[in-house]
């Protein structure tokens, strides 16, 4: 048997799943242990993110008793993957904090996964969800996410209505011009201010000078994948809203997943429409894989693990 990549010292590929694919694994009654084993044979591992957990937890909120039963079934299935110690990704702003810390200590790669203690805490919370028990913290965060998404959407519509000159500038940027325009705008003062505002919200004790310095450093460094993606999402959101008069409610949540997958080797989803903007947010280090539902999800995942990555990094 030829030596595997893992035996040669290469780290396993990480495959980040959108919520719809965790649902597909549950619906197809796939054996979690077999999936973990099959991916390991290709030196790959699934990775779970808090974004996916919160999206799945919304199931309890949506449909009464039926939603609760579905949520319990879904989390009972997902919980079994933790027996294989699949990695767990930090939430997006914690990833930005990890990028800041990596810059400070001169590291080329931030710590993107949960610590053992945080992993154990999250594992216990998922076990509670599998039993239909939602903590107050989880319920409050779900409500905050839903409200935040709607506020972002309605606020952007109102902003462009009040500032027709800004809307005109955005509509003058064609889809063909947009990627290049995005690269230019990423280096603008308004982009630095947006990121600084996000950092200030996460670190309220930081001074405005400190957040401005961090924003400039992250946007100018190859380390800041998530920091740059946060700004790119804002710019895309504005541009799309200007062109279409509104933005789909799903984009806010879908883009959270995409940001959360910034350090994965593969971002896998069932939503083909996400490909339109996922490539604008992710670096070439992360390949986008769209599941079409034709073959079983287990076989498809193993094939994705066996596929060489597209691109050559940042």
Tell me how crowded residue 184 is: count the other CB atoms within 10 A of its CB: 9
Is the pTM here over 0.85, yes or no?
yes
- Reading the chain (314 residues) residue by residue, the pLDDT tens digits are 233 444 456 889 999 999 999 999 999 999 999 999 999 999 999 999 988 998 899 888 776 788 889 999 999 999 999 988 899 999 999 999 999 999 999 988 999 999 999 999 999 999 999 999 888 887 787 787 778 778 887 888 888 888 889 999 999 999 999 999 999 999 999 999 999 999 999 999 999 999 999 999 999 998 899 999 999 999 999 999 999 887 777 788 889 999 999 999 999 999 999 988 999 999 999 999 999 999 999 999 999 999 864 433 33
**What is the total residue count of the chain?**
314
Alpha carbons 260 and 152: distance in angstroms, whole number:
19
pLDDT given for residue 1 in this prediction: 29
Confirm if 87 and 113 have CB atoms less than 8 A apart. yes
Confirm if 287 and 16 have CB atoms less than 8 A apart. no
Confirm if 22 and 53 have CB atoms less than 8 A apart. no
Q: How many Cα atoms are found within 13 Å in the side-chain-facing hemisphere of 287?
A: 17
pLDDT given for residue 194 in this prediction: 94
pLDDT given for residue 9 in this prediction: 67
Tokens of 147: 């409200």
């Amino acid at each position: 048997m030829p030596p595997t990549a893992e035996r040669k010292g290469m780290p396993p590929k990480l495959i980040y799943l959108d919520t719809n694919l965790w649902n597909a694994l549950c619906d197809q009654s796939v054996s979690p242990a077999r999936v973990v084993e099959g991916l390991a044979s290709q030196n790959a591992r699934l990775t779970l993110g808090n974004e996916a957990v919160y999206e799945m937890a919304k199931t309890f909120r949506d449909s009464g008793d039926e939603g609760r039963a579905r949520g319990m079934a879904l989390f009972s299935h997902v919980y079994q993957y933790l027996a294989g110690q699949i990695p767990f990704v930090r939430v997006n702003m914690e990833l930005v904090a990890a990028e800041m810390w990596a810059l400070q200590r001169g590291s080329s790669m931030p710590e993107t996964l949960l610590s053992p203690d945080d992993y154990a805490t999250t594992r216990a919370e998922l076990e509670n969800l599998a039993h239909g028990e939602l903590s107050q913290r989880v319920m409050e965060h779900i409500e905050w996410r839903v409200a935040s998404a709607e506020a972002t959407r309605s606020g952007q519509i109102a902003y462009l209505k009040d500032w027709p000159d800004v809307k005109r500038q955005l509509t003058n940027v064609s889809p063909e011009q947009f990627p290049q325009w995005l690269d230019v705008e990423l280096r603008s003062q308004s982009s630095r201010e947006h990121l600084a505002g996000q950092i200030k919200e996460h670190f309220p004790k930081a001074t405005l000078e400190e957040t401005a310095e961090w924003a400039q450093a992250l946007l100018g460094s190859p380390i800041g994948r998530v920091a740059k993606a946060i700004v790119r999402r804002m710019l895309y959101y504005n541009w799309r809203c200007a062109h279409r008069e509104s933005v789909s409610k799903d984009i806010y949540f879908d883009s959270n997943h995409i940001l959360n997958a910034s350090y994965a080797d593969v971002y896998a989803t069932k939503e083909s429409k996400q490909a339109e903007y996922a490539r604008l947010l992710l670096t070439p280090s992360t390949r986008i894989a769209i599941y079409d539902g034709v073959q079983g999800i287990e076989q498809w995942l193993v094939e994705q693990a066996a596929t060489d990555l597209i691109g050559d990094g940042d």
